[in-house]
Amino acid sequence: MNFSRILTIWYSNNKRDFPWRNTKDPYCIWVSEVILQQTQAKQGLPYYEAFMARFPTVFHLAKADESEVLKLWQGLGYYSRARNLHQTAQYIVKTYGGYFPGSYSELIELKGIGDYTASAIASICFGKATAVVDGNVYRVLSRYFGIDTPTNTSKGIREFKALATTLIDKNNPGDHNQAIMEFGSTQCKPSAPNCTDCPLNTACVAYAERKISAFPVKCSKPKITKRHFNFLVFLSNDRKTLFEKRNSKGIWQNLYQFPLVETKAALDPEKFSGNNAIKTLLKNTPYRFSLYNERETVHKLSHQHLYTRFWIVQVEKLPQDGIPISEVTKYPAPILIANFIDAFGFSI
Ligand code: SF4
């Protein structure tokens, strides 16, 4: 029996039941695949259900306010993906009348849809033999075939894509793709794969050579930048605070945050009042401040670690227009800020 046949039989006996497994609607597959790039299936399920309940079709998503889309995405990270979903929904409605194009070459032209998502939609929804390659697929193929080309290099990306394309079942590409991804998630897992009870173990190179942990191979990780963020949480006598939209490109675009002052190192409380950026923000407003978290909260993004402190700044009147404290939870915010708001009891 060939590789694909073994996998699809395994899949039909072992697949977990998720709502996106019971549909071929490209809108549902698209949303689920984008969510699954952010998190594991179990953790992604409540996000998928909430998204589908609020935006059941591409037309609903296209008409939505971007803030609402970001709010539903809150906690998943990589907010540019949510913005792209929204913009692409508008484009599909405008250009294709709400119908998804059915070919890989048209799908990959859409904003936010890369090789993986275009391959998934084309195969699952339109029966095209386009192989998906993601972390799960790299792991399964590199172990089974004993391939040590680093997966995070252009040579590796090309090599694995070509191999995956030769393996795909042309008569059943959607199931083949879902099978290999599910197999990577639950059977050939990153650590402690279930090799003894694996239908591929008789021909698996990594298993035969006892080198499972050596695959997949990756080049060393990029350098992580360390940044120090100070959020100023204003509290005025009339129960207002400052909460502003991040308009700049980069992390958290269009999400909301308390005024931010970035420093080169952890800000010493004794230097708080003398900091020029803080002085500019306060515009000579009299204030009292306290440090909410002595120990910096570390928020890890892919290429940077944010060492974060929240400073409570009490003022009689805000130095500029603000919003009522009771409304602060209505805005989409990075999970770091949302967690602070929960812990601080802002909504009360
Ligand atoms: S034998 Fe182990 S390493 Fe090889 S494919 Fe199966 S689960 Fe993965």
**Ligand 1 neighbourhood includes 6 CB (under 6 angstroms):** no
- Sequence-distant (≥ 6) Cβ neighbours of residue 322 within 8 angstroms: 234, 236, 240, 241, 242, 243
Q: Look at ligand 1, atom 2, and give the residue with the nearest C-alpha.
A: 195
With a threshold of 0.95, does the pTM exceed it?
no
Question: Chain-wide mean pLDDT for the chain?
Answer: 94
Instruction: Note whether 233 and 241 are within 8 A (CB).
Output: yes
pLDDT digits (tens, 9 = 90+) for 17-34: 999 999 999 999 999 999
Q: Look at ligand 1, atom 4, and give the residue with the nearest C-alpha.
A: 204
pLDDT digits (tens, 9 = 90+) for 296-342: 999 998 889 999 999 999 999 999 999 999 999 999 999 999 999 98
What pLDDT score was predicted for residue 222? 73
Q: How far is the CA of 32 from the centre of ligand 1 (A)?
A: 26
Q: How far is the CA of 9 from the centre of ligand 1 (A)?
A: 16
If one residue of 204, 210, 211, 215 were mutated to test the ligand 1 pocket, choosing by the most ligand atoms within 8 A of its CB, it would be 204
Atom of ligand 1 at shortest range from CA of 193: 7
Catalytic annotation on 33? yes
Report the CATH fold assignment for 225-344: Nucleoside Triphosphate Pyrophosphohydrolase (3.90.79)
* Intervals of CATH 1.10.340.30 along the chain: 3-214
What pLDDT score was predicted for residue 348? 42
Query: In tens digits, what is the pLDDT along the chain, a chain of 348 residues?
Result: 799 999 999 999 999 999 999 999 999 999 999 999 888 899 999 999 999 999 999 999 999 999 999 999 998 888 889 999 999 999 999 999 999 999 999 999 999 999 999 999 999 999 999 999 999 999 999 999 999 999 999 999 999 999 999 999 999 999 999 999 999 999 999 999 999 999 999 999 999 999 999 999 998 877 889 999 999 999 999 999 999 999 887 888 889 999 999 999 999 999 999 999 999 999 999 999 999 998 999 999 888 999 999 999 999 999 999 999 999 999 999 999 999 998 888 644
Residue in 33, 106, 296, 327 annotated catalytic: 33
Q: How far is the CA of 183 from the centre of ligand 1 (A)?
A: 9
* Intervals of CATH 3.90.79.10 along the chain: 225-344
* Domain 3-214, second-level architecture: Orthogonal Bundle (1.10)
If one residue of 139, 200, 202, 213 were mutated to test the ligand 1 pocket, choosing by the most ligand atoms within 8 A of its CB, it would be 200
**Ligand 1 neighbourhood includes 188 CB (under 6 angstroms):** yes
**Ligand 1 neighbourhood includes 204 CB (under 6 angstroms):** yes
Query: Nearest-CA neighbor of 183 among 138, 149, 153?
Result: 138
